[in-house]
Amino acid sequence: MATTLVRPRTVIPAAPRTHKAPALRHLGPNWYASVMGTAIVANAGATLPYQVPGQRVACQIVWALSAVVLAVLLAARAGHWLHHRDQARAHLLDPAVAPFYGCLSMALLAVGGGTLIVGKDLIGEPAAIAVDAVLFIAGTAIGLLMAVVVPYLMVVRHKVEPSQATPVWLLPLVAPMVSAAVGPLLIPHLPAGQPREALLLACYAMFGISLLATLLMLPLVFGRLIVRGPLPLALTPALFLVLGPLGQSTTAVNQLADVAPGAIEAPYAHALGAFAVVYGVPVMGFALLWLALAAAMLVRAARAGMGFAMTWWALTFPVGTCVTGAAGLARHTGLDAFAWLAAALFLGLVIAWLLAAAHTLRGLFTGRLLPRTV
């Protein structure tokens, strides 16, 4: 009996599904911290009480770099939302990632403020005013939105435990304080009368929003440290985020006091000038206390083998806000001690920025930070 040989069919495996722009899938909102950290170097350096030859030119270059990085990140994040909506939604529902959505607001505001501080030297004052106005409006709107949306998600969608409390939770709450600190730059360019007074008082309102919200959240963060012990090594630099609302609020009250005489009646203007010192000095004192604690924890983590992570950018922007806060107190008190403090903090800021930037570039080139495969 003849037999028929049947050749087995060759099955060609289906090609694996691939995503467009796979590297963008891993690009989270935390990357805006690099823009914030770069812009604050320019802003703080240009407002230091002490200036050396070439310092302003260096600040102009750093501001231009921050503007370029912001533009690149905005485009990249748009691509992230376009091609990886599932991951973008997952970020919003992740309690460890969602707070970083506040960084977009602060990146826009920091670059916008730097445009009026140093960018005007390169693009002219009229263009600088227009750019800052656009970035201020966009950054403020996003910041106020995230200050509501992220806490709302934490309450109704995120499943969080007290042990998960970290300074990262402060990020969406600090954004309105950044608006309060950079808003005064625009006040002198508004028509005299109600427009100036309205923006002045709006900045004070955002100062209150951020300050009171921070006072609610900070005890949770400190309580977690006392009860649960140190943060994981990679998260240890996030302890410096607590300096953000402290330094930025001190900066805000001093900046607002500078422009108050041209925006509001004399009795209130004088009171706001006094408030800048009465509020700023104690808060700066607490900021230095927290800085010492955070630095001690950072040294401990480094000795335990802490490697590089994007949390290293937390060593930049919050410290920079303390630089601008100390510089503001130096203007209003006339004390050299605050000027020296601002200079010392600025030196630490530059060192931290160089380290974070160098490791970030290395991580990008090696593909460790943004893997090129899904």
pLDDT, tens digit (0-9, with 9 covering 90-100), for 245-257: 999 999 999 999 9
Report the pLDDT averaged over residues 343-359. 97
Q: Is residue 158 pLDDT above 70, yes or no?
A: yes
Give the separation between CA 247 and CA 341, rounded to whole angstroms: 13
Judge whether residue 19 has pLDDT over 60.
no
The predicted-structure confidence for 208-223, as pLDDT tens digits, reads as follows 999 999 999 999 999 9
Please report the pLDDT score of residue 88 as a whole number.
84
* CA dist., res. 270 & res. 289, Å (int): 30
pLDDT at 1 over 50: no
The reported pTM is: 0.91
> What is the per-residue pLDDT across 62-121, written as a single tens digit (0 to 9) for each?
999 999 999 999 999 999 888 888 888 888 888 889 999 999 999 999 999 999 999 999
pLDDT given at position 21:
66
Q: What's the pLDDT score for residue 4?
A: 43
Under a CB-based contact definition with an 8 Å cutoff, are residues 220 and 166 in contact? no
CB atoms within 10 A of CB 120: 18
* pLDDT band at residue 162 using 50, 70 and 90 as cut-offs: confident
The pLDDT, as a whole number, for residue 118 is 96
Residue 38 has pLDDT above 70, yes or no: yes
- Give CA–CA dist 257/110, Å, rounded: 20
- Count of other CB atoms within 10 angstroms of residue 122: 14
Q: Please enumerate in sequence order all residues whose Cβ is within 8 A of that of 136, keeping only pairs 6 or more positions apart, or say none.
A: 108, 109, 112, 113, 179, 182, 183, 186
> Between 32-46 and 102-114, two packed helices, what is the crossing angle to 10 degrees?
30
297 and 284 Cβ atoms separated by less than 8 Å: no
* pLDDT band, residue 14 (cuts 50/70/90): very low
For residues 197-209, average pLDDT: 97
Whether the predicted pLDDT of 35 surpasses 90: yes
Note the pLDDT of residue 10.
Answer: 43
7/35: higher pLDDT? 35
Give CA–CA dist 103/100, Å, rounded. 5
Percent of the chain exceeding pLDDT 90 equals 82
Torsion sign (Cα): 351, 352, 357, 363: positive
Distance in angstroms (rounded) separating the CA atoms of residues 294 and 296: 5
26: exposed, middle or buried (C-beta count within 10 Å: 0-12, 13-18, 19+)?
middle
DSSP 3-state assignment of 8? coil
The rounded mean pLDDT for the chain is 91
8 A C-beta contact, residue 301 and residue 240: no
